[in-house]
Every structure is written in structure tokens, then in C-alpha cells.
Structure 1
Amino acid sequence: MLKIAIVNDSPMALEVLRRLVSQTPHYQVSWTAQDGAEAVARCAADLPDLILMDVVMPIMDGVEATRRIMASTPCAILMVTASVNRYAAEVFTAMGYGALDAINTPAIGLQFASEGGKGLLKKISAIATLIGKAPRRSLLRDTPRPALVSRRSRSPLIAIGSSTGGPQALAKILSALPATLDASIVVVQHVDEQFAPGLAHWLNDQTPLTVDIAQEGQAPSPGHVSIAGTNDHLCLSPSGKFTYCAEPQTTYRPSVDALFASLAQHWPQPDIAVILTGMGQDGAQGLKLLRDAGWRTIAQDRKTSVVYGMPRAAFELGAVESVLPLEAIAPACLDHLSKIPY
């Protein structure tokens, strides 16, 4: 049984969420709260498996409540907001404190099986799988490796995967890179496609580089940061251009493993891959493929990670060449780029 708490100051929204949870087998509403301060107190007394946390509330908003809960009684938190565009910055701040994901509040009404309701239940199901540590199918078992080339055929590439705490970590790294960077950057951050444009816009304000959503058929471009922008997997095609793939079916979409595996197969030279803070194991198998293909592989360390799940899984698999604190990752990338022969 998955115990779920609901925190929302709107009685109508709270009732919609309560009914959605209650009508689903194996889900149970543990308690409800109408502001963040009440939620912090309730967590101390009765910790749920998952909290559906509103963003804007009186007394204490969902961002501050997330910070306090993750500091004292950590559990899975899904941010539920009435407006993706209006509250994108708040959502990314909450994710920096440890919220796993975010989604729009389902439309208020009697049709609880609406698209919004289905989307929320899908998110809850994914998180339930993640925190339950269910066995996951290998995505990469038969992925062929490319032959290494002796000279570079393209500008360097930095591939980054992140999840819980990722937006703030990405901002830290990207802000430390120069506008003249002669390398392409591609990012898979676990975030719903509704929030991807807002994430790109927010990161644009944090870095001198250009940040945008990776477009189907677009090639990686030096000085540009391309972010996965749909709930399908961002991959590199045999032609060296971005493509979105529905398969494989995975808990988290988009998948870091899917991107890394496609780079191992289709990118013509070894470059740099980074795995950042996040819950679960996504990215570990893909990073191992890249390391075996000669890539420089870096994982964020335990101390600076909001959740040391994805980096730890990669390290334990032998996929990581260097474990570094967050502030050392950008300098390490620049140092490696400076030594690449052309």
C-alpha cells in the first residue's frame, strides 16, 4: 500500500486529488494539510511514502515546506501546481531541495479520469516504482559499441544526466562555463515535458551559453545546451542528429540511459559524460558503456548531491572515472577539453 499525503490550500483541488488517490487500488490517503507548515508538522508525526505538494500556499509555501521536510524527515515529494509557466522557477527551486518531479493540478470537475488525472496517476505510479526499488529491465544489454577513431570528426560533446536536485546542479555547472565554449552540451533532466521549456528559459538566465529544447533532426551545436523536451527519450540517431524515441518503456521518461546508450553507439569519438544528483539508477548502465568506449566519465559526489542515488549506482557499476563535488565538475570538463587533440 502506497501511503500518500496531500498538501493544498484549495478545498476543491484537495478533494479532486483525494478522490483520484482513493479510487486507485493500493493507494491510501494518509492525511491532508492546507499549508506547508502543517505538512512539516504532520510529516514529523506520520511520514507518508509520497506527498502531493502544492506550490503556492499561505503561511508556508510548498517550496519552503519541501526544503524543511527533506532536511528533517525526507520522503518522496511530487510538486502539483496550477500553472506550469507562472511557477516554473518555484518548481525548479523545490526540485533543488529534493522534490522528485512536478505536474499540473488536474482540472477540477467530476471527470476524475481526465487527461490531467491520468497524467498525475502515471507520475505517482512511476514514483511508486522508483521508491519501491522494483527490478528494472536492462535497456542496454545488446547495445553495440562504436569503433574509436584516431582523429576528431566533430566538436566535443558534454552529455549530462540528472534528476532530483538536478536543476540547481545544472545551473551551477552551466554558469561556470564560458560563452566561447567550443563544445556541445546535451542534457536529460527528469522533468515532465510541460516544464521543459520553463527549465530551458530558467537555465538561460543562469549561464552565458544558449539553452534551448533539443529539436527532432537538429544536430548538437558548439556553445549550445540542448535539453530533452518531451516525455519520450532524447537520443542521437545514426546520422548524428537528435531524435525522440518512445521505446524502451522505462520508469522515468526521458531516460538518461537511453541518451548515453545512443551516444555510445552513434557518436564518433569519446568525449565527456556526467551523472548528477538523483534518485534511482537511471544513467548508470549508459555511463558504463561510455566509459568502456573511452569517454571521460564524472559523477557528482555524495556530499554535494541532494540524493546520492544515480551517482552511487554508476560508481558501484564501475562506470565512473572521477567522483567530484559539484563545484569541481565544470573545471574538470574544461581541463579535459583543453587537452583534446584536434
Structure 2
Amino acid sequence: MTIRVLIVDDSALVRSVLAEVLSGAPDIEVVGTASDPLIARERIKQLNPDVLTLDVEMPRMDGLTFLDNLMRLRPMPVLMVSSLTEKGAEVTLQALELGAIDFVTKPALDVRAGLEGYAELLRDKVRAAARARPRGRTGAPTAPQPLQRPRSLRTTERIIAIGASTGGTEAIKDVLALMPADAPAIVISQHIPAMFSAPFAARMDRSSAMSVCEAADGQQIVPGHVYIAPGNAHLLVVRSGARYHCRLSDAPPENRHRPSVDTMFRSVVDNVGANAVAALLTGMGEDGARGLLALRQAGAHTLIQDEASSVVWGMPGAAARLNAAERTLPLDRIASQLLEWTQ
């Protein structure tokens, strides 16, 4: 099946390069382009694309307002094209909250060379978006109340490890929003660029009763805290005596990713073993599947997000095929199961 793409960007150069890069794949057809959201609105009606690529800063209507309207009136897979800046990161995270499937970063210099440099990743993201389940919007969501911590919890012995990719920023938020302030420590590897991980951690901190931060090298891992891998660094869990610490590594990417979920999960196998509890959430590709299997074989409790609630069932699906998960659960039941297992 050919994936029909509409490109929405106010830059003629970006529209041209994106069209060129995407059209280079035999299974992708760029059916049209638009220089602003008002033109895009008409093109969507005329062309009925499968996937939309959307810039954030555009004339006449900004990308976020357009996206918000689109996800309420005609939900469809949207891939954001963002600038690799702190402001671009914050706006992109808002776009993911509004229902965008994923994002690609637009290089600040030499746009053509930059976009052509990750042509295959861009095409893979379009393919994943075409298979994804966009979340429609019906109004402002109500904030969930954190769950109660089980009384017999022994938090000092337990660590929860979570991996995610496409759709993961919102899935992680949903899990953390249900965690009580005194939950066991959580380590997270989410595929995200370097400029985006600190704003992402700050957003998670605002939506969780736990204390959430971007992990720092040598930082002690303690209950009630969440440690998110920085973009462009692997997060490892290491043990020193009775204490766990974060270790950051600039080792080569694994499964094309740094941070890699497999890299983090293996460190949890080596240093936490059966005292770990792990979850692999929505994401494109297979990163984390083999690491989750290693955790299960080491005696740790493991689960994956089910297909129906995942934006993309790539990583959890790969883990399912390996029989790496003890349980397969919808997103809204994952936090309670993780807590139950930490008793």
C-alpha cells in the first residue's frame, strides 16, 4: 500500500527537500504541499492524505492551534517537523500532547544536507505514523489521581525500569501521573534528541507526584524519584554497596538509538536482577525487546503495553514475539501492575 503524504511548511526549501526525500521511497507518495494551515485545511479535504508533516511556526495560524483543531475534528497521523532548540522542544512536546504521533528535527544550518542525512529515519517515521493510532481530542482531560502505595512495599530494594519510543512521551506521562510520591525509584529510557530530554523531564515533573529529573552521571537512585536518560547518552544502573547510581555512557548507539532501552535493561539485569520490575511501552522498532527477555530470564517481573493502547506496537510487539513479557496490559493498567509487583 502506498502512503499518501501532505507536507505543511512555510519554507519552500523544506517543502521541496521533504518531498524529494520522501518520494525517494517506492511506498511513499507526496500528494501535495501547503505553505500554511489554511491552505492545508483545503488540501486535506481534497487529497485525503494518510499522513501529514506539520511545521510549528507558520503564518496565519500556528501549527499547535491547527493541530488542536485537526485532532478534535478530523484525527489523523501527524508528524511534526521541529527546530532543534529549547523553544522548539517545548512546542513539540505540546504537539505530542495534542495528539501528534512523532516528530523529526529540522537542522538549523544547511537544511538540505541535514534532512537528506536522515532520509531513511524520516521515511521510517512516516511509515510508522501511517500505521499508528492517532488520539482524537474531545476536550480537556481530567488529571488522574495517584494510586495508593501498597503497605508492604520495600522501596529500597526495588527499581522500576521503563523503555519507550514513538508515542512514549505521552504514555510515560500517563504512567507517572498514577505513581504515588513514595513509589520505588524509576529509570526511563525514551528515544529523544539531546535538546528535548530536559524539557521532557520538566514536563513529567509537573504532572507526577514523584520527583522527576534528567539523570546525571553518578546520581544516587532513591525512592520517590524518576531518572530520565538524557538525549544522546545511554542511562545505566550501577550498584555500589547497597546503593544504586546512574551512570551515563557515550558508547555507540544500539539499535540506532542513544539512549537505548536494551542498554539500560542489560545494566538492570546485571545490577538489580530479580529485584527489578520492567515495562516496555509503545515505540517503533525492536529496541528493548531482547533486554526485556533478559530481565524476565533473570527473575524480574516484565510487562508490555498492549497493541490497542500503543501508538505504534513495534517494540512491545517484538518483545511479545520473544515471549519476553509476563503480562500484556492496556496503558491505564500498567502503573497499578508495576506497583503491585514491587510489594
TM superposition score normalised by structure 2? 0.75
RMSD over aligned Cα, in angstroms?
Answer: 3.6
Judged with a 3 Å threshold, the aligned counterparts in structure 2 of structure 1 residues 83 and 95 are, in CA distance, closer, same or farther, namely: same
**Unaligned segments of structure 1, at least 5 residues:** 134-151
Greater Cα offset, 159-168 or 227-236: 227-236
Which of 314, 318, 325 in structure 2 is aligned with 1:320? 325
Shift of 1:91: 1.6
- For the Cα contact (< 8 Å) 1:102–1:191, is it kept in 2? no
Say if 2:210 is the partner of 1:209.
yes
CA shift, 1:313, in A, is: 1.8
Q: Distance in 2 between matches of 1:309 and 1:258?
A: 18
Q: Helix, strand or coil for the counterpart of 2:325?
A: coil
**Matching residue's letter, 2:302:** T
On the 8 A contact 2:160/2:276 being kept in 1, the answer is yes
Counterparts of residues 108-147 of structure 1 (less than 5 Å)? 111-112=110-111, 118=114, 120-129=115-124
Q: Report 1:183-332 matches (<5 A).
A: 183-237=184-238, 240=244, 241-332=246-337
Alignment match, 1:146 = none
Paired residues in the alignment total 307
Q: Is the 8 A contact 2:277 2:301 kept in 1?
A: yes
Deviation at 1:247, TM superposition (A): 2.2
Query: In the aligned structure 1, how far is the partner of 2:173 from the partner of 2:315?
Result: 18
Please report how far the alpha carbon of residue 198 of structure 1 lies from its aligned counterpart in structure 2 after TM superposition: 0.7
TM-score (norm: length of structure 1): 0.75
Give the corresponding residue for 2:16: 18
Contact conserved, 1:101 with 1:191, CA < 8 A, in 2? no
Kept in 2: contact 1:101–1:192 (CA 8 A): no
User: Aligned residue for 1:149?
Assistant: none
Identify unmatched segments of 5+ residues in structure 2: 129-153
Q: Distance in 2 between matches of 1:94 and 1:65?
A: 7
2 CA distance for matches of 1:67 and 1:187?
Answer: 32
Q: Alpha carbons of 1:285 and 1:37: their partners in 2 closer, same or farther (altered >3 Å)?
A: farther
In the aligned structure 2, how far is the partner of 1:307 from the partner of 1:179? Answer: 29
> Displacement, 1:328?
1.1
2:9 is matched by which residue type in structure 1? N
User: 1-side partners of 2:69 and 2:288: how far apart?
Assistant: 26
Q: 2:159 aligns with which of 157, 168, 177?
A: 157
Paired residues of 1:20 and 1:112 also in contact (CA < 8 A):
no
TM-fit CA distance, 1:155: 2.9
Q: 1:297: how far off?
A: 0.8
